[in-house]
Structure 1
Amino acid sequence: MTRFDLSNKKGLIVGIANEQSLAYGSAQAIREQGGRLAITYLNDKARPHVEPLANELGSELFLPCNVTRPDEVDAVFTQIREHWGGLDFLIHSIAYAPLADLQGRLIDSSRDGFLEAMDISCHSLMRLAKQAEPLMKDGGSILTMSYIGAERAVANYNLMGPVKAALESAVRYLAHELGPRDIRVNAISAGPVATRAASGLADFEKLIERANQHAPLNRPLSVADVGSLAAFLVADGAYSITGETLHVDGGYHARD
């Protein structure tokens, strides 16, 4: 087994909605390297869209998981404990904000909308990490998904900018706390991809166009590009990388 072979690495992927999901690109890349998967879906409405993908990926567990429902989160980790006895990686790829708050100015955002966005998009990482920690007996890797709007003001990203900034800060603190257990925590800052979550942003097509024009590589980004980095970060070859936000955006973050 090489440092980048994922054979028998067992992981939970939360956040697949369809084939355009960053979580799906990650699951594909990990499965190609031999990883074993547990995949969740949000609710009964989402299940018909996710189940064919889970079957295609050979997911060993396919479970409902609304991160705002503690009973469902508990059930997911109970099933993992009973089926595998442990866990090697966790991918958290969840973001949500009420549409009115997402599309309005940050200064006009409602208190309830801000708290809901922070709870689902950020604090859920901490809740999942807490459940994963005792299952990562021999160390492990935890990943989440961010965006450059956490680092700089991006037109129309609005409420999600502060939320993603909090998420990236949480990654650093979780890396500090879980490092003694050989659990690595990192964020992938992906360039704009036409995911379902991103479709709620106003003028998102213009954001993609601008990124493609100004990125040094000057080409569209795909979920497979993000998946390649995810597969690397859960592999043993990334053993000494933690607390990082790594960009997959064609170099756009390096431009002024």
Structure 2
Amino acid sequence: MFSLEGTTALIVGIANDQSIAWGCAKALQNRGAKLAVTYLNEKAEPHVRPLAEQLGAEIIMPLDVRSDEQSEALFSEIRAQWGRLDTLLHSIAFCPKDDLHGRVIDCTAEGFAAAMDISVHSFLRLIRRSEPLMGDGGTCMTVSFYGADRVVDHYNIMGPVKAALEAVTRYAAAELGPKGISVHALSPGPLKTRAASGIDYFDDLMNQAAARAPIHKLATIEDVGAFATFLASREAANVTGGVHYIDGGYSVVA
């Protein structure tokens, strides 16, 4: 069940071995998927390349999602090597520090635009480039957070940004459904990742989430990877457009 043998997957967002994208990459490769892995820049490459090589990734390339040239080079390589793409995983987010730590109403136009472009519109751009390679259907996934739906202390402007990400997930799912391409948002509870470390009092948030969750523990990147593997499989072909909570029930508790 859930075999991905012979399929291909593009993983965008590995920063280190604590990244959600890393947990997903491991799970997808373990089920048989061939991987393409990206790294942000030369500074990130020494941290990402050994992990990608550990999984036998066939394509390892730089990708700053703001660069059309790098995006074109990446998808040209995928087209040349594989001629298709079955799974896209988008697990990146960014907001300038001052805007992230300030009040939502004080967020600058420049900070808001940067957060929306890198965290949200980049997902749409990657889907658009993936679409022609998904002629037999495919799966596109991104990563959200409970703060998109409820106010979470110190999550600040990333709450509205993630809400936008979840909205574009639904609209993309509706538009691509006739082509057999599903679109999903994975929503784990608080996880100790590099991106999360920029949020004030994040350790407190994790402790509170573990206490509130019905199972009284946080999800892991392996938990997220297991769910992503299901969504990438043929068995999930009739599932699309959802925000999938992988959080030990944290999101259902008032």
- Shorter-chain TM range is over 0.9
3-state DSSP of counterpart to 1:119 = helix
Query: Aligned residue for 2:51?
Result: 53
3-state DSSP of counterpart to 1:86 = coil
Query: Aligned residue for 1:122?
Result: 120
Q: How does 1:63-212 map to 2 (within 5 A)?
A: 63-212=61-210
State the TM-score, normalizing by the size of structure 1.
0.98
5+ residue gaps, structure 1, are none
Provide Cα deviations, 1:127-172, integer angstroms capped at 9, x if missing partner.
0000000000100000000000000000000010000000000000
State the TM-score, normalizing by the size of structure 2.
0.99
Query: Sequence identity, in percent?
Result: 50
Please tell me the root mean square deviation across aligned C-alpha atoms, in Å. 0.6
3-state DSSP of counterpart to 1:141 = strand
Provide Cα deviations, 1:48-76, integer angstroms capped at 9, x if missing partner.
00011001111000000000001001111
3-state DSSP of counterpart to 1:79 = helix
3-state DSSP of counterpart to 1:164 = helix
Spell out structure 1 runs of 4+ moving beyond 4 A.
none
Q: Distance in 2 between matches of 1:157 and 1:68?
A: 24
Provide Cα deviations, 1:76-124, integer angstroms capped at 9, x if missing partner.
1000000000010100001000011101111111110000000000000
Q: Distance in 1 between matches of 2:137 and 2:214?
A: 36
Q: Distance in 1 between matches of 2:123 and 2:204?
A: 30
Q: What is the total number of aligned residue pairs between the two structures?
A: 254
Q: Distance in 2 between matches of 1:27 and 1:150?
A: 25
